[in-house]
């Protein structure tokens, strides 16, 4: 169980979804991907062109800034220090993703919209309904949405 002490969890060991990038802020609780966590956090510090991967759950303070070498682990899978510097090779943190092909092992979204090459809606999925080619599909019945 992780209580914020160094070395108590190994980041990402339980395949928690990444959360972020979040702006690093003093007083914010960041999660390191332990069994008791919901996420593994990725943060950035204003004015610094680098991302940081959280290794264990802790509350941010000036004493554990991710942009200081003394607070960075030398490995992305070590929990000896709260952060490791990372770049876009280690993970992708983006608000919009355009990809021709991708393999996603764990995807958590609120809504999905699939478009054809002309930008027309082909599939729309949310927590209430699924539309395929403008026809609503439910587990028990199918009917036209118009």
pLDDT (0 to 100) of residue 61: 92
Rounded distance between C-alpha atoms, residue 106 and residue 124, angstroms: 19
Taking CB atoms within 8 Å and a gap of at least 24, the contacts of 70-74 are none
Stated pTM of the model: 0.52
For residue 49, CA distances in Å to 69, 88, 97 come to 15, 11, 20
For residue 134, CA distances in Å to 15, 79, 114, 129 come to 36, 49, 12, 11
For 9-23, what is each residue's pLDDT tens digit?
444 456 688 888 889
For 69-78, what is each residue's pLDDT tens digit?
776 666 555 5
For 76-120, what is each residue's pLDDT tens digit?
555 677 888 776 545 566 677 777 777 776 777 788 888 888 888
- Please choose, from the candidates 4, 6, 18, the residue with its C-alpha nearest in 3D space to the C-alpha of residue 52: 18
The end-to-end CA distance of the chain, in Å, is 52
pLDDT (0 to 100) of residue 144: 55
Q: Are 75 and 84 in contact (CB under 8 A)?
A: yes
| 33 torsion bin: left (phi>0), alpha (psi -120 to 50), beta (else) | left
pLDDT of 1 strictly over 50: no
Q: What percent of the chain has pLDDT over 70?
A: 69
For 18-65, what is each residue's pLDDT tens digit?
888 889 999 999 998 888 999 889 898 888 878 888 888 999 999 888
Rounded distance between C-alpha atoms, residue 144 and residue 97, angstroms: 31
Rounded distance between C-alpha atoms, residue 70 and residue 109, angstroms: 36
């Amino acid at each position: 169980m992780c209580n914020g002490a160094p070395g108590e969890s190994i980041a990402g060991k339980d395949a928690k979804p990444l959360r972020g990038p979040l702006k690093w802020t003093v007083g914010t609780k960041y999660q390191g991907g332990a069994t008791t966590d919901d996420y593994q956090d990725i943060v950035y510090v204003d004015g610094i062109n680098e991302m940081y991967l959280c290794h264990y759950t802790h509350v941010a303070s000036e004493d554990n800034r991710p942009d200081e070498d003394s607070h960075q682990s030398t490995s992305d899978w070590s929990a000896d220090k709260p952060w490791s510097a990372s770049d876009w090779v280690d993970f992708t943190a983006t608000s919009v993703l355009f990809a021709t092909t991708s393999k996603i092992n764990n995807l958590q979204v609120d809504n999905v919209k699939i478009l054809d090459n002309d930008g027309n809606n082909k599939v729309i999925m949310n927590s209430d309904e699924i539309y395929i080619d403008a026809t609503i599909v439910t587990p028990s019945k199918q009917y036209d949405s118009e």
